[in-house]
Amino acid sequence: MAELISAVAGERLAADPEVLTAAARVLLREKFLQADMGITGANFAVADTGTIVLVTNEGNGRMVTSLPRIHVAVMGLEKVVPSMTDLMVFLAILARSATGQKLSSYTTLVRGPRQPGELDGPEELHLVLMDGGRSRQIAGPLREALYCLRCGACLNVCPVYRQIGGHAYGHTYPGPIGILLTAMLKGNEAVKDLAHASSLCGACKDVCPVRIDIPRMLVELREKLDEERIAPASERFVFGALRRLLSSPAAYALSAKLGRLLQRPFVRDGKLSRLPLFFGKWTATRDLPPVAGKTFRERWKELR
């Protein structure tokens, strides 16, 4: 970080957070003062007063909305709440679920451009309401995902997100809710792998302040991928075969015997390696335990 900011500042700065913050303030303030247009998102918009609401912890939102001549706010249409009374509820649950605060450090309410006699504010204010597939989902299976406040609580508790981090998702919105939002905005094809990046432990649903049932929708999304034949043919074949196998006790017992026989050439050091065909993709990067010498049923019979 020190190197990055030093390069922009044109002088060697110490790797001290306070020094770097002070330098960033000086450098950025100049940019804000010179900018013709400031573009922000919006956390909410209040229908009965026409107020746009920005929630930040850094204060940069206030610089963008007040210094440039024009302010453009871009917002998904699901962010509209009916009244100020509703807004108060959402502001409280957003801050509490995102950072554990009672209220974010900066909650900015914008009611329009600068009025005569006012010192701050833009000359023009434009609000862009984005649909981007949202209205198509109002009666669709992912409807509940539109309730999302983007507090990020489900990301922090997700065991998958905590291991792989946000960039691994490859889209704007990461984490369990991100998979659903990506499917909604970009189509099911975009999440054909991500739909499986969940253990379905339910931690996301438990922590969500608006109780979005993410695990249920992820299971439905997987079903949809199968119905729409978006999942690769090999994957559909394997899961189809597994379904038939697991629903027939006789077929299951036979498969265990066959598996023990067929795996012999591939068992090395107590694990399966270098499997043929598409199974090889699995063993190329991961360990796969061999089929046990005896099934539970066989051992149970012996014990009794």
With respect to ligand SF4, which residue has the nearer C-beta, 213 or 298? 213
Cα angle for residues 101, 26, 19 (degrees, 5° grid): 70
Nearest-approach distance from CB 95 to ligand SF4, in angstroms? 12
Q: What are phi and psi of 127, to 5 degrees?
A: -115, 125
Per CB under 6 A, residues contacting ligand SF4 are: 97, 148-154, 177, 207-210, 212
Among left, alpha and beta (phi > 0; psi -120 to 50; other), residue 211 is left
Helix axis angle, 175-186 to 214-227, nearest 10°: 40
Q: Could you give the CA distance from residue 233 to residue 6 in angstroms, rounded to a whole number? A: 52
Looking at the Cβ atoms of 55 and 212, the one nearer to ligand SF4 is 212
Contact at 8 Å (CB) between 177 and 169? no
Rounded to a whole number of angstroms, the minimum distance from the CB of residue 228 to ligand SF4 is: 24
Taking the least distance from each CB to ligand SF4, the nearer of 148 and 191 is 148
Sign of the CA dihedral with 10 first, then 13, 17, and 21 last: negative
Q: Which is nearer to ligand SF4, 75 or 177 (CB)?
A: 177
CB 25 within 8 A of CB 33: no
Write down the least CB distance from residue 39 to ligand SF4, Å.
Answer: 23
Minimum CB–partner distance for residue 59 and ligand SF4 (Å): 23
Residue 39, beta-bridge partner list: 72
Q: How far is the CB of 77 from ligand SF4 (least distance, A)?
A: 16
Comparing CB distances to ligand SF4, the nearer of 23 and 155 is: 155
Residue 13 or 203 with smaller CB distance to ligand SF4:
203
| Residues 145/181, Cβ–Cβ less than 8 Å | yes
Q: Which of 13, 149 has the CB closer to ligand SF4?
A: 149
Least distance CB 201 / ligand SF4 (angstroms): 14
Q: How far is the CB of 108 from ligand SF4 (least distance, A)?
A: 20
Nearest approach, Cβ of residue 94 and ligand SF4 (Å):
8
Q: 266: exposed, middle or buried (C-beta count within 10 Å: 0-12, 13-18, 19+)?
A: middle
Q: Which residue is it, tokens 């247009």?
A: 37
Pick 67 or 148: Cβ nearer ligand SF4: 148
54's enclosing H/E stretch is strand 51-56
150: left (phi over 0), alpha (psi -120 to 50) or beta: left
